[in-house]
Amino acid sequence: MDLFKKIYAYDTAKKAKEAGYYPYFHELTSKQDTVVHMEGREVIMIGSNNYLGLTSHPEVIQAAVDATLKYGTGVSGSRFLNGTLNLHKQFEAELAEFLNKEDCTIFSTGFQSNLGIISAVAGRNDIIFSDKENHASIYDGTRLSYAEVVRFEHSDMNDLEEKLAKASENKGKLIITDGVFSMSGEIAKLPEIVALAKKYGARVMVDDAHGLGVMGECGRGTAEHFGLENEVDIIMGTFSKSLASLGGYVAASHEVVDYIRHNSRPYIFSAAIPASNAAAALQALRILKREPERVKALHDISEYMRQGLKAKGLKIKDSKTPIIPIYTYMPMRTMVACNKLFEQGVYVNPVIPPATPIGECLIRTSYTATHTKEQIDQAIERISEVLKSLEGFNE
């Protein structure tokens, strides 16, 4: 049988394009900001993870430009060999200090961070306990580790404890959870997870991709939010969201980070991030430290949107984060709604199976500290109008 048979038979995207409801790959022609230009339209952006509004900050842009002029466009090698810049080391030191961890190292992407961390610290003689709604990169990292993988029901602490209790005492145990779940905006039950880890001799890893710059009074993430920074063994995160760049990191004890540096295949065999990415993220971190009020502004504008949607009678997944999913239930209805909103100047993201259970499709919206109430009011009105126009559409 021809390997490409399944490829030639795939026509899902083609059908969606022909029918006019394909909602993906819209082209930006401007900086990522609260209002962007896409395909000749000015669009209110409530579908990005630019939580602190720093992707267009002049200091962040200038830092990337200056670093490119000094270091060039790439490092042409891995961190393990010729690709470590003094800028990388400086960034790692400042990020570790900010997160109240002994050490930190950075990866080329957030996805690669989870592949590299999990596959290094867990192996054939270990067990990973992973929340069923964890990010795809965690799923792939657990596969790469060759460890036994036990998935527990989403945020179900009884299920987690039952599975921990059954685990062999002779195997190393790692509990992995998103800090803020990327689709729902829910916050992990970290106090309960930490307590169970202590009870059953497990370590805890938190993917804080959507927590850094979002959770905690200073924006240090989910562990700060719960006052558990000393109790979480490994913190992972990305630069592509609050830190306005590209890349990822692991922060932990010096021994753990150094072990990852010398044993993580995705880390050792990938080129390091260019200086421009590191410099932009570092400057974004410095702005976060200097202006922690951005975190409060983010929560204030998110709450304003949350209350506005509720006032319109729209059903949302309630959370305390800047991720606000709006129920649309059926796949076709979700994609049509997203396209109609785009035509009316509002960009949002469709979330359909397998990212959600059948019948629980969502429009995922997310907010930025620099959104204005005027922008949010416009978005609320247009979302309400579009969804009400589709009330009888049940595909």
Token pair recorded at residue 194:
């930490």
Q: Is residue 283 part of a domain?
A: yes
* 64 and 143 belong to one structural domain: yes
Higher pLDDT, 359 or 281: 281
227 CB neighbour count, 10 Å cutoff: 11
Per-residue pLDDT band for 395 (boundaries 50, 70, 90) equals: low
Per-residue pLDDT band for 94 (boundaries 50, 70, 90) equals: very high
Please compute the mean of the pLDDT values over residues 169-196 and round it to a whole number: 97
* 286 and 296 belong to one structural domain: no
* 76 and 99 belong to one structural domain: yes
* C-alpha to C-alpha distance for 245 and 371, rounded to whole angstroms: 19
For residue 213, the enclosing domain spans 58-290
Residue 79, pLDDT above cutoff 80: yes
Residue 167, pLDDT above cutoff 90: yes
Per-residue pLDDT band for 56 (boundaries 50, 70, 90) equals: very high
Return the active site residues.
182, 210, 241
**CB of 326 closer than 8 Å to CB of 189:** no
Please compute the mean of the pLDDT values over residues 323-340 and round it to a whole number: 94
Mode of pairing for the β-strands spanning 172-178 and 148-152: unpaired
CATH number at residue 277: 3.40.640.10
Closest CA to 79 of 53, 107, 60: 107
**CB of 257 closer than 8 Å to CB of 267:** no
* 229 and 108 belong to one structural domain: yes
- The last residue of one of the domains, among 290, 309, 338, is 290
The pLDDT mean for the chain works out to: 96
Token pair recorded at residue 164:
């921990």
* 327 and 367 belong to one structural domain: yes
8 CB neighbour count, 10 Å cutoff: 8
* 143 and 238 belong to one structural domain: yes
Please compute the mean of the pLDDT values over residues 141-149 and round it to a whole number: 97
* C-alpha to C-alpha distance for 46 and 363, rounded to whole angstroms: 11
Residue 161, pLDDT above cutoff 90: yes
Of all residues in the chain, the percent with pLDDT exceeding 90 is 92
Question: What's residue 288's pLDDT?
Answer: 98
* 285 and 309 belong to one structural domain: no
Residue 21, pLDDT above cutoff 90: no
* 114 and 38 belong to one structural domain: no
Length of the chain: 395
Residue 322, pLDDT above cutoff 90: yes
Please compute the mean of the pLDDT values over residues 181-199 and round it to a whole number: 97
Per residue in 275-313, pLDDT tens?
Answer: 999 999 999 999 999 999 999 999 999 999 999 999 999
Question: What's residue 393's pLDDT?
Answer: 66
Residue 334, pLDDT above cutoff 90: yes
Q: Is residue 395 part of a domain?
A: no
- The last residue of one of the domains, among 290, 310, 345, is 290
Q: Is residue 103 part of a domain?
A: yes
Please compute the mean of the pLDDT values over residues 315-331 and round it to a whole number: 93
Alpha-carbon dihedral sign for residues 54, 57, 62, 63:
negative
Vertex 93: Cα angle to 224 and 105 (nearest 5): 85
Alpha-carbon dihedral sign for residues 367, 369, 374, 377:
positive
Q: Is residue 228 part of a domain?
A: yes
- The last residue of one of the domains, among 256, 273, 290, is 290
* 94 and 165 belong to one structural domain: yes
**CB of 147 closer than 8 Å to CB of 99:** no
* 136 and 272 belong to one structural domain: yes
Total structural domains in the chain? 2
Residue 151, pLDDT above cutoff 80: yes
CATH number at residue 48: 3.90.1150.10
* 191 and 331 belong to one structural domain: no
Q: Is residue 42 part of a domain?
A: yes
Please compute the mean of the pLDDT values over residues 258-276 and round it to a whole number: 97
Q: Is residue 394 part of a domain?
A: no
Per residue in 22-49, pLDDT tens?
Answer: 999 999 999 999 999 999 999 999 999 9
* 97 and 189 belong to one structural domain: yes
Q: Is residue 63 part of a domain?
A: yes
Question: What's residue 302's pLDDT?
Answer: 98
Q: Is residue 269 part of a domain?
A: yes
